[in-house]
Amino acid sequence: MKDISGKTAIVTGAASGIGLGIATALAEAGANVVMADIQKAAVEQAADALAGTNKRVMAVEIDVTQEQSVLDALAEAESNFGKLHIACNNAGVPMHGTGLVDVPPEDWAFVIGVNVWGIIHGIRHFVPAIRKHGEDGHIVNTASVAGFQNRRGTDQAPYSMSKYAALSLSEALEHELDGTNIGVSVLCPGPIATNIAHGARNRPAHMGGPQASASDEAVLAERLATQGLDPKQAGERVVAAIRENTFYAFVGAVPADVIQERHRRIEEALGSSWVSHY
């Protein structure tokens, strides 16, 4: 999509961090932006601040884990701004610092609910909303460099697993939309200076409600404080990816050596005499 100006975009998780950076960059590129977040007061405040700089934005409450909430937010977006062109499925939460056997089922449900179901609901409802009017569109799903590797010693397997799922959903969506005028990008940030270390603050009521998570903070807070990019740069990465129709949209510090080593192991395994081709 060459020209973003005048198009309507919805961004989930837009009250904070990368989502706010995406909303800001899209609004600066001239889009009408629907800022959607589970934190109602925070997203209203963020939208007020952006609107104050003469941008066309609105806030809606959404819980991406719940299909009806996604449908309600979409209806509100369309009734205010008309046709939807761009959807950024960005809301996400961490699940770091606890070994696989010690993560309780309700924490698995939380991280999968937001990071995986959030994208599935977005695909199921935002894609048809874009397709129905026939104009150019674009979907951006936020994965992570954690969607390409499980870094040893970080105990972030549940998060990483959810981001591998985000990546796989994005690759499949790209295949399904091949040859149409709807593009797909998968945003793959390295460390970005956001509030994700405190992601359990946004835990939906039906999943146990807001919490503090010392294990997330122990792994993430320092990494983000020392290595984290300004989230606005992630937003600008998204705008460039939409304009240039870039699929793998990396931004920031990427553990390329770890990803390459993983790929080398896979290639080597494919050379085994047990493997045939199809």
In the block, tokens 């959030």 appear at 118
Is there a catalytic annotation at residue 278?
no
**208: phi > 0 → left, psi -120 to 50 → alpha, else beta; which?**
left
Q: How many CB atoms lie within 10 A of CB 97?
A: 19
Q: Do the Cβ atoms of 117 and 93 come closer than 8 Å?
A: no
x/- mask, ligand NAD, residues 9-28, rule CB under 6 A, reads ---xx-xxxxx---------
x/- mask, ligand NAD, residues 21-60, rule CB under 6 A, reads ----------------xxx---------------------
Q: Which of 159, 164, 248, 278 is catalytic?
A: 159
Question: Would you say 16 or 185 has its CB closer to ligand NAD?
Answer: 16
Entry field: residues in the chain: 278
Question: Would you say 15 or 123 has its CB closer to ligand NAD?
Answer: 15
Close Cβ partners of 165 (under 8 Å, ≥ 6 residues apart): 112, 115, 116, 119
Tell me which stretch binds ligand NAD (CB under 6 A): 3-11, 192-200, 209-217, 242-250: 192-200
- Check residue 116 for interaction with ligand NAD (CB under 6 A): no
Nearest-approach distance from CB 115 to ligand NAD, in angstroms:
6
Q: Do the Cβ atoms of 55 and 5 come closer than 8 Å?
A: no
x/- mask, ligand NAD, residues 214-253, rule CB under 6 A, reads ----------x-----------------------------
- Check residue 169 for interaction with ligand NAD (CB under 6 A): no
Nearest-approach distance from CB 154 to ligand NAD, in angstroms:
13
Partners of 142 in the β-ladder: 187
Residue 260 dihedral angles phi and psi, to the nearest 5°: -65, -40
Pairing of strands 182-189, 86-89: unpaired
Question: Would you say 77 or 136 has its CB closer to ligand NAD?
Answer: 77
- Check residue 158 for interaction with ligand NAD (CB under 6 A): no
Tell me which stretch binds ligand NAD (CB under 6 A): 52-60, 176-184, 196-204, 239-247: 196-204
Close Cβ partners of 131 (under 8 Å, ≥ 6 residues apart): 137, 180, 182
Of 199, 213, 219, 235, which lies in the binding site for ligand NAD, with binding defined by CB under 6 A? 199
Close Cβ partners of 240 (under 8 Å, ≥ 6 residues apart): 246, 249
Question: Would you say 32 or 141 has its CB closer to ligand NAD?
Answer: 141
Tell me which stretch binds ligand NAD (CB under 6 A): 78-86, 187-195, 237-245, 256-264: 187-195
Cα angle: 136, vertex 137, 143; to 5 degrees: 155
Contact set for ligand NAD, span 66-95 (CB under 6 A) = 90-93
* Torsion angle of the four alpha carbons 76, 78, 80, 86, in this order, in degrees rounded to the nearest 10: 110
Nearest to 162 by CA among 116, 196, 216, 102: 116
Residues at the interface with ligand NAD (CB under 6 A): 12-13, 15-19, 37-39, 62-65, 90-93, 114, 142, 144, 189, 191-192, 194-196, 199, 202, 204, 224
Positions marked catalytic: 159
